Amino acid sequence: MMGGYPSRLLLKCIAVITLATLLSGCGRVSLSITDATIDTAEAVVLAFTGVELTPVSGDIVKVEFKPNRNIDLMTLTDGISEVLLDDEVLLQDKYDRVTLKLDMDASYVTVNGADFPVTIPTDALDGLQVDKEFEVKTGSDSQFTIDFDLRKSLLDPESGTDEYILRPVLRLVDNSLTGTITGNVDASLLSLNTACYDNSGAVTAVVYVFSGINITPDDIDGDTTEPMTSARLKDDLSYTAAFLEEGDYTLSLTCEAINDEPDTDDNINFLRNQTITVVKAQDSTVDFGL
């Protein structure tokens, strides 16, 4: 040390020691959001004001966004996700709840070029909760994704109002334990059903993804047999179902998803079923043909 001032090397060492002390007993967590798209809206923009993480013991961790994070969920399909928390430092502990905080006055749904307000049930006004336990360990670097399933969650306005209703159906997954299914659909299969294309010629087919092998597919109606997620076909007749936890799945192709109201029992026809076993950190391929 010269002149009474610490050297640059000493300052660097002090900084490293201080950081190590601060991070002792801590891990880092990243949290993203994704979506299964719907057919009846052009945009579903939610204004996120923050995220809360609830430990089994200890105080709730609150992260506020200033300004709000305005995210169009309709852009987060086909394995695309948006980061909400990036390497947030958390104390080592088990956590059993993630709460998404929203500003509903700044959130809206766009249908046929017009913006409409969106409301949520009174029991969700304090935030959209996802209850699932995960553990933060010392030195860990964990990445999680919340699947915000609009096909199950968004309801049309009730009679006499223009407010869309958001009844959140959320799924939290550990990215390291998930895989992805991609595939293509033979155009000749879609040609068998006139409902597979709309009046403009755009494809309307959707792949429903059910947990388990040889599941008899059903519509979205709150019953026991519910698709875990869904994937809409793109113009090139390909699809992607991402963030699926390791396990067995049944994939069912339908061209009538636009008629599938999440709060009613609808008679939805399915063209083909396929089964697949998803392995973590791997991509699987499931094609639909004649």
Q: What is the pLDDT of residues 76-88, one digit of tens each?
A: 999 999 999 999 9
pTM above 0.85, yes or no: yes
Gap between the Cα atoms of 97 and 31, Å rounded: 13
Sign of CA dihedral 259, 260, 264, 269: positive
Residue 52: pLDDT above 60?
Answer: yes
CB-based contact 242:79 (threshold 8 Å): yes
Q: What is the mean pLDDT of residues 181-192?
A: 96
pLDDT confidence of residue 171: 95
- What is the average pLDDT value for the chain, to the nearest integer? 90
- Backbone dihedral angles phi then psi of residue 137, each to the nearest 5 degrees: -110, 160
Residue 93: pLDDT above 90?
Answer: yes
Residue 10: pLDDT above 60?
Answer: no
Alpha helices in the chain (DSSP H): 8-23, 150-153, 187-190
Residue 177: pLDDT above 80?
Answer: yes
Alpha helices in 45-159 (DSSP H): 150-153
pLDDT confidence of residue 18: 46
CB-based contact 32:38 (threshold 8 Å): no
Domain positions in the chain: 1-168, 175-290
Residue 16: pLDDT above 50?
Answer: no
Alpha helices in 95-145 (DSSP H): none
CB-based contact 44:118 (threshold 8 Å): yes
pLDDT confidence of residue 221: 85
Residue 17: pLDDT above 80?
Answer: no
Q: What is the mean pLDDT of residues 89-103?
A: 96
Q: What is the mean pLDDT of residues 238-245?
A: 97
Q: How crowded is residue 22: how many other Cβ atoms within 10 Å of its Cβ? A: 10
What CATH number should be reported for the domain whose range is 175-290?
2.60.40.1120
Gap between the Cα atoms of 55 and 71, Å rounded: 26
CB-based contact 36:80 (threshold 8 Å): no
Residue 125 gets the label, from left (phi > 0), alpha (psi -120 to 50) or beta, of alpha
Gap between the Cα atoms of 150 and 231, Å rounded: 11
Q: What is the mean pLDDT of residues 72-100?
A: 96
Q: What is the pLDDT of residues 138-169, one digit of tens each?
A: 999 999 999 989 999 999 999 889 999 999 89
HSE, CB side, 13 Å, CA atoms: give it for residue 46.
26
Position 74: which residue type?
A: M
